[in-house]
Amino acid sequence: MTAHEYSHLVRGHWDDAQPLEGGESLSQAQERDADGYGIYHDLAYFFQGRGRLITSQWLKISYDKALENSILDCYLLSMMLQFCARWAGKAQVAWDGGAEHPPQPVRIEYSILFVEMWCREVGKISTSWMTDGTLNGYFDAVASLFPSAARSSWNLQMSWLRGTESEQYRSQIRRSLDRLRTGKA
């Protein structure tokens, strides 16, 4: 996320990842929030700012709908590639509430939700890609770029993502975000 690091400058970077009571991770909540902030600015740039013109010239597409679809395709693919590259070969089975960043499967999931929210609420762009199999196809395409040894932990982590421990983790992150937004952190 290009704007992710910028958001650290605007909001400050939290190198002191200290869990709050109940195992809540303020740092992980801040990082998830920064991911969303970065995605918002990236998408605004590519769909509404100078990035739209640059992308249109690079891809040689002038028809608005085709350009929007191409921008979204490229964005989703590059986002998955970035997160999967960070994820490859890293088996994190014990979830650490004191870690600085959320687990990669959680970051991927929330980033997709941020993109979907932006498309629906700001860009007024169809979000059919959320349910029509497009995302699975993109993830499969990106995953195929990595050797099987590098992605050996993915199934285990995806199982965790769908389990009850994951829901408890997400609840903790939501509480931390509420604390951040209300100033009670």
pLDDT of residue 17: 40
How confident is the model at residue 158, as a pLDDT? 72
Angle between the 64-87 and 104-118 helix axes, to the nearest 10 degrees?
A: 170
Q: What is the pLDDT of residue 139?
A: 86
Structure confidence by residue, pLDDT tens digits, 13-27 = 434 444 444 444 677
Tell me: the pLDDT tens digits for 57-110?
Answer: 999 998 989 999 999 999 999 998 888 887 766 655 555 666 677 777 778 888
CA atoms of 56 and 91, how far apart (whole Å): 39
The lowest-confidence range among 14-23, 62-71, 133-142, 144-153 is 14-23
pTM for the model:
0.73
**Between residues 92 and 175, the one the model is more confident about:** 175
Predicted local confidence at residue 171, as pLDDT: 79
pLDDT at site 97: 61
- 50-59 vs 64-87: helix axis angle to the nearest 10? 90
Cα–Cα dist 153/159, whole Å: 10
pLDDT digits (tens, 9 = 90+) for 29-63: 788 888 889 999 999 999 998 999 999 999 999 89
